[in-house]
Amino acid sequence: MASYDVIVIGSGPGGYVCAIRCAQLGLKTACVEGRETLGGTCLNVGCIPSKALLHATHQLHETHENFEKMGLMGAKPKVDWEKMLAYKSDVIGQNTKGIEFLFKKNKIDWLKGWGSIPEAGKVKVGDEVHDTKNIVIATGSESSTLPGVDIDEKTVVTSTGALELGKIPKKLVVIGAGVIGLEMGSVYSRLGAEVTVVEFLDHITPGMDAEVQKTFQRILKKQGMTFILGAAVQGVEALKTKAKVTYKLRKDDSEHMLDADTVLVATGRRPYTHGLGLEALGVEVTERGMVKTDAHWKTSVDGIYAIGDCIAGPMLAHKAEDEGMGVAETLAGQQGHVNYDVIPGVIYTHPEVASVGKTEEQLKDDGRAYKAGKFMFMGNGRAKANFAGDGFVKILADAETDRILGAHMIGPMVGDLIHEVCVAMEFGAAAEDLARTCHAHPTYSEAVREAALACGDGPIHS
Ligand code: FAD
Ligand code: NAI
């Protein structure tokens, strides 16, 4: 049996990136994956398939809403749902096979099967026990459903079922106005479903900048989504092909009922460490099941590390990837590091939503004096031409030093624009640094510059 420097358990963005970086740094590496294909939640049932469906349905929306305005006449496309799902599967296949290719290229052994850790220094896969100097747990997360709600992945579904429904529902009820609920809600709304989102809190997308939350909800409402906020779901009754959702409004305790063809439960995710044998090993976990780690991703047991969705922090693919690289560098004797203050978050609806750093609400709570520079996309020539004038860019900077503390955006391509601010923040830049950087015209990125100008003497186009 081969003996390894590192065995990574799980091949999601945390695990596969970690394995590749370990191999690049000269460590003999294997990665255990129980799924049929590599890439984890993200490539198989998460980021990639959801973005494929968002892309396809956005194109549909454009042809229906905007083509005629530009003189593009002719029959409007109809949806072939099976073909759209086949496109999505093809995109998944290309990506997961890509990871397989990268594993071969970097001489990483894929140990196929579900892994467990009988003791530090050993990983068991099937009947075989492999020796290794270090173990990295990268086993990710799973949907955390509501107590008493049975998921059949047909009528009552998690995001996994929502990515391959048998048919497009007429009525979709989404429980939870978080990232999954709004992305998948957008997909089905564009496909013609009547989408009702039931959310426990009084606002959508908890933790996000309040001004973005309000604008985002207004735009989604205009696109046809209905929101029931401050509502505690009491139960979901699955009938043969339909379901009933009962909820109580928190303000007056009144009880209500909604009919649906499909119910998407999107109330968050929880760490997945089932079957690893952590308890017997003495690897400490939090009350919520997250593996406890120190600043270098080491668990409470020497030689065992953990990264990604199964540890603390935002459950995001790029956060898992960065930790994967960081722990690989640490194991290779380098200084692995992740700057948790500059991790962007993006929602891939249309318009997109993106944020990094502190929100205004957090800065107020911290008692920090700040200034906010804001620029509306209506003042951006490119956005106006492309029917994308909804939304804004807001940059928050220290009142005295002008150092950028955060940025919050809703509008076209902001999921890409946010990275300009991320780089600036990594370099400790001031808003003026962005404002004095020449931006090509006409681009959406000019809105970022204008928001930075708004932190100083003022934007030009508003
Ligand atoms: P995972 O990707 O969950 O991978 C863990 C892997 O470990 C799995 O393949 C699992 O089979 C395997 N595994 C578990 N236990 C064992 C074991 N004992 N032995 C062998 N293998 C094991 N994030 C973004 O940043 N952007 C997005 O656009 C985005 N979209 C999403 C859309 C949806 C619908 C969902 C559900 C999630 C989305 N996410 C997105 C979140 C993202 O998918 C996760 O943050 C990311 O996948 C976490 O990576 P990970 O490596 O920690 O774990
Ligand atoms: P989430 O945490 O984003 O949202 C869950 C929502 O459900 C919250 O608004 C919460 O208040 C609400 N909720 C919880 N219990 C409820 C109840 N009983 N009744 C009504 N509402 C209730 O979780 P979500 O959307 O399931 O996503 C899980 C994870 O996947 C997130 O951490 C997210 O980061 C990640 N993800 C990231 C994406 C991206 O980066 N674009 C896309 C999709 C998922």
Model pLDDT, residue 150 = 94
Strands 255-260 and 156-157, bridge-based pairing: unpaired
Average pLDDT over residues 162-183: 98
Ligand 1 binding site (Cβ under 6 Å of any ligand atom): 9-15, 32-35, 40-42, 46-47, 50, 114-115, 138-141, 159, 180, 272, 275-276, 308-309, 315-318, 320, 348
Instruction: Evaluate if residue 166 carries a pLDDT over 90.
Output: yes
Average pLDDT over residues 113-119: 98
Model pLDDT, residue 44 = 98
Q: How far, in Å, is the centroid of ligand 1 from the Cα of 313?
A: 14
User: Which ligand lies nearest to the CA atom of residue 16 in the structure?
Assistant: 1
Instruction: Give the angle subtended at the CA of 339 by the CAs of 336 and 340, to the nearest 5°.
Output: 120
Model pLDDT, residue 250 = 96
Mutate to test the pocket of ligand 2, among 143, 146, 197, 200 (most ligand atoms within 8 A of CB): 200
Mutate to test the pocket of ligand 2, among 267, 270, 353, 416 (most ligand atoms within 8 A of CB): 267
Model pLDDT, residue 246 = 97
Would you please indicate which residues are annotated as catalytic (active-site) residues? 441
Share of the chain above pLDDT 70, in %: 100
Share of the chain above pLDDT 90, in %: 98
User: Which ligand lies nearest to the CA atom of residue 200 in the structure?
Assistant: 2
Does 265 sit in the ligand 2 pocket, CB within 6 Å?
A: no
> Which residue minimizes the CA distance to atom 45 of ligand 1?
316
Model pLDDT, residue 241 = 85
pLDDT digits (tens, 9 = 90+) for 307-335: 999 999 999 999 999 999 999 999 999 99
Average pLDDT over residues 256-269: 98
User: Which ligand lies nearest to the CA atom of residue 38 in the structure?
Assistant: 1
Does 267 sit in the ligand 2 pocket, CB within 6 Å?
A: yes
Model pLDDT, residue 1 = 63
Q: What domains are there in the chain, each with its CATH number? A: 3-142+270-331 (3.50.50.60), 156-267 (3.50.50.60), 345-453 (3.30.390.30)
- pLDDT tier, 240 (very low <50, low <70, confident <90, very high otherwise): confident
Distance between CA atoms of 459 and 453, rounded to whole angstroms? Answer: 5
Instruction: Quote the mean pLDDT of the chain.
Output: 97
Average pLDDT over residues 129-142: 98
Average pLDDT over residues 235-242: 91
- pLDDT tier, 148 (very low <50, low <70, confident <90, very high otherwise): confident
> Which residue minimizes the CA distance to atom 3 of ligand 2?
178
Q: Kindly report the pTM of this predicted structure.
A: 0.98
Average pLDDT over residues 375-388: 98
